[in-house]
Amino acid sequence: MAVTTEVKDYQNLIGGCLQPHASDEFLDSIDPSTGLVWARVPKSTEEDANKAVDAAKRAFAGWKTALPAERAARLRQAASIISANGAELAALETKGNGWVIRETTYGMIPVLVKLWEDAASEATVGGRGQTVPTGPSSFSYTLREPYGVIAGIAPWNAPLFTFSIKAAYALAAGNTVIIKPSEMAAASSLRLAELLADAFPPGVLNVICGTGPDIGTALVSHPDVAKVSLTGSGGTASAIAQATAGKPKPLILELGGKSANIVFEDADLDRATESMATASIFTGNAGQICVGGSRILVQRKVFDDVADRLRKRMQDLALHRLGHTLDPRTTMGPIATKAQFDKVRSYIDLAPTEGATLLFGGRSGAELFPGSPDLSGGYWVEPTLFAADSNRLRVCQEEIFGPVAVMIPFDTEEEAVRLANDTEFGLAAGVWTSCLSRAHRMTALLEAGNVWVNTYARVGSDLPFGGVKNSGFGTDSIGEYSREKSCVIEL
Ligand code: NAD
């Protein structure tokens, strides 16, 4: 594998210290904009996983009984550390998975800082139980308690965000945590672990890197891991369910989607198409977002109009500027890994054979950068738009996880609901309409964990975030990282 000149090695954080892993094997981190190796991350083994669980278990008693105000202070310190090191973390995230620097710097870092601060605020109030009237002869109340050791398993598409949303709320509730970043893009998470090493008592936060088969299974099936939170694919969710089947443990599963973005003829089409062209699927990380609005359902009367507007905006070269991901002018990055690139490419090739019509894009790889040898090895995919008559095509049913969307026409509101819900997934949906009654009818009828009207991907720590159907269950929140105990005192 070709390498860039400087290749840095990263280490695990276990028990408050950076530690060499048990084997001498590393995994290459590849910059997806060039295809070159730029870092190496630990290929940890079960021995490292066990060490991390031991450290987290030892730290639990002290962290659980720490005053909420102390936990809050340390979480606030974490927010300050992220803020102070934002430029470095943003650049590592960009190198690791190709999400463009303008968005990791100005979008992601402020979101992370706010997330750790919100978790700090929750730490002081989120762990409170309640008193329950049970008659004059008894006094009853609930205690909210942390679970113990939490394993947080993260994907490659948003490593620092998934690290943060799992760790911050689990720590706020009084759990100790092991984060396993994806082996495909782990450097930013391992550096964040190093930066946070002194923010928490030793063993409270541990971060180890390795593959699913090497350490993922060992972590989730470890008897001392009390709860698992996965953000990832349905296949991994099934593997975890099987690995924990002998001794069932609570899971939070944040999985994939095939979300519908629905445009009614009464919508503000300028706003709807602008959002679709920039924010719902054709994003700075090339559509590799779980909530990507990959099915664009459009009322037949305005279908051609919306298609023309979208095509025109996508043709505007300034809009989707693929290029050096560390260049602040670049607005869309590459696909994060070669395997994912091959998968996205295969769906682009499949669509016309299923009867879909290409409206825009379709090119990939070196053909996008013929005169640019440094970028021609990158995993580039052009923003790609298809039109189809049926929602049953594979490209309309399976998660592609790239900058590829399919437009499908509908006639009535009932048909829009039926098509939107005609998928195994239930993560998100968008509705564009100027009719308030219709907006409320749609939010009630759409089978999705998140529904946005006249906006898209409005996600924040002020609202719960999760999926239904095969998009998973549970949310990374302080409520789900603690459990209620009922206590009755006979007087
Ligand atoms: P993945 O399921 O392949 O991997 C996710 C993590 O699971 C990685 O850290 C991997 O090493 C680990 N893993 C793999 N096998 C394991 C096993 N047997 N036991 C324990 N851990 C194991 O997912 P990915 O390809 O990294 O990420 C893309 C997927 O994540 C997409 O489906 C996307 O929709 C989903 N996603 C969902 C959300 C959400 O909030 N719902 C957010 C981001 C991504």
Q: Extract the residue ranges of the chain whose pLDDT is less than 50.
A: none
Phi, psi of 31 (to 5 degrees): -75, 115
Sign of CA dihedral 64, 67, 72, 73: negative
Residue 3, pLDDT score:
62
CA of 182 to the centre of ligand 1 (A): 8
CA distance 470 to 31: 31
At 421-435, the pLDDT tens digits run 999 999 999 999 999
Q: Residue 229 has which token pair? A: 């939170």
Cβ–ligand 1 distance for 216 under 6 Å, the answer yes
Cβ–ligand 1 distance for 183 under 6 Å, the answer yes
Residue nearest to ligand 1 atom 12, measured at CA: 212
Q: With contact defined as beta carbons under 8 Å apart, do 395 and 388 qualify? A: yes
470 secondary structure, DSSP code: G
For a pocket test of ligand 1, which of 236, 289, 425 has the largest count of ligand atoms closer than 8 A to its C-beta? 236
Cβ–ligand 1 distance for 335 under 6 Å, the answer no
CA of 154 to the centre of ligand 1 (A): 6
Closest ligand 1 atom to residue 155 Cα is 26
At 48-82, the pLDDT tens digits run 999 999 999 999 999 999 999 999 999 999 999 99
Q: Is 290 a catalytic residue?
A: yes
Which residues, listed in sequence order, are joined to residue 143 by a DSSP beta bridge?
485
Q: With contact defined as beta carbons under 8 Å apart, do 481 and 146 qualify? A: yes
CA of 291 to the centre of ligand 1 (A): 14
Residue 136, pLDDT score:
97
> Which amino acid type is present at position 302?
V
Cβ–ligand 1 distance for 409 under 6 Å, the answer no
Closest ligand 1 atom to residue 465 Cα is 40
Sign of CA dihedral 453, 469, 397, 108: positive
Listed residue (240, 147, 185, 181) closest to 31, CA to CA: 185
Strands 251-254 and 225-231: parallel
Stated pTM of the model:
0.96
CA distance 368 to 137: 77
Identified catalytic residue from 183, 290, 382, 480: 290
Cβ–ligand 1 distance for 292 under 6 Å, the answer no
Residue 470, pLDDT score:
98
Residue 1, pLDDT score:
59
E strands, 213-264, are: 225-231, 251-254, 260-263
Residues 6+ apart with CB under 8 A from 10: 39, 40, 41, 42, 186, 187, 190, 191, 209
Listed residue (184, 255, 260, 234) closest to 27, CA to CA: 184
Q: Residue 370 has which token pair? A: 């013929």
CA distance 275 to 77: 35
Residue 370, pLDDT score:
85
Residue nearest to ligand 1 atom 33, measured at CA: 256
Phi, psi of 150 (to 5 degrees): -105, 135
CA of 144 to the centre of ligand 1 (A): 29
Q: Is 117 a catalytic residue?
A: no
CA distance 464 to 474: 9
CA of 97 to the centre of ligand 1 (A): 14
